């Protein structure tokens, strides 16, 4: 049984990230006392659960010009979980468009091929712009973007 709910900080700790996101997960964990309460308070993040297990955390930082989106995917997400997460994100894209948002961007690590394939499902394309992520000075990320 799957469920979608507002993100709770506990969801972050109850999840085991996929191998390709361990570095980002650990960097966020170091700043968790500041970042997680802000994410929870802003209420722009959801958790998709299978039973009690968080399988993906999906968030966005809304901006009418270009909304930044991100996700942490559990290493045990499975095929059905990926289908549900993908459908949810597509519905969010449509909702953002209907509410006047112009585009979506997300940072993807240069070596994260699965993330690039997933981004392509949503029409995102590489921009050539580098992103400085949680690991200060780490610009191994490129923004991917789609106009809505």
Q: What is the pLDDT of residue 55?
A: 97
- The band of 130, judged by pLDDT with boundaries at 50, 70 and 90, is confident
Enumerate the domain spans of the chain. Answer: 2-147
- Report, as an integer, the average pLDDT of 106-113: 90
Structural contact between residues 81 and 2, judged by C-beta atoms closer than 8 angstroms: yes
Q: What pLDDT does 102 receive?
A: 94
Does the pLDDT of residue 43 top 90, yes or no?
Answer: no
Rounded CA separation 65/101 (Å) = 6
Instruction: List, in order, residues 6 or more apart from 34 with CB less than 8 Å away.
Output: none
Residues pairing with 75 in the sheet: none
Pick the range with the lowest mean pLDDT from 89-93, 112-116, 137-141: 137-141
pLDDT band at 24 (very low <50, low <70, confident <90, very high): confident
140/82 Cα distance (integer angstroms)? 25
Question: Is 73's pLDDT higher than 90?
Answer: yes
| CATH T-level fold of 2-147 | Aminopeptidase (3.40.630)
- Please report where in the chains the tokens 């049984």 appear, as a residue: 1
């Amino acid at each position: 049984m799957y469920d979608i709910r507002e993100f709770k900080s506990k969801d972050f700790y109850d999840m085991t990230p996929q191998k390709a996101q361990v570095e980002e997960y650990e960097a966020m964990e170091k700043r968790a006392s500041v970042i997680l309460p802000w994410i929870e308070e802003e209420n722009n993040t959801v958790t998709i659960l299978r039973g009690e297990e968080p399988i993906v955390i999906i968030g966005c930082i809304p901006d009418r010009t270009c909304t930044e989106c991100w996700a942490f995917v559990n290493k045990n997400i499975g095929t059905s979980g990926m289908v549900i997460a993908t459908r949810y994100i597509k519905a969010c894209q449509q909702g953002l468009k209907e509410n006047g948002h112009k585009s979506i961007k997300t940072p993807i690590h240069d070596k994260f091929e699965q993330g690039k394939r997933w981004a392509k499902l949503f029409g995102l394309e590489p921009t050539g712009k580098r992103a400085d992520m949680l690991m200060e000075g780490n610009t191994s990320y490129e923004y991917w973007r789609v106009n809505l």
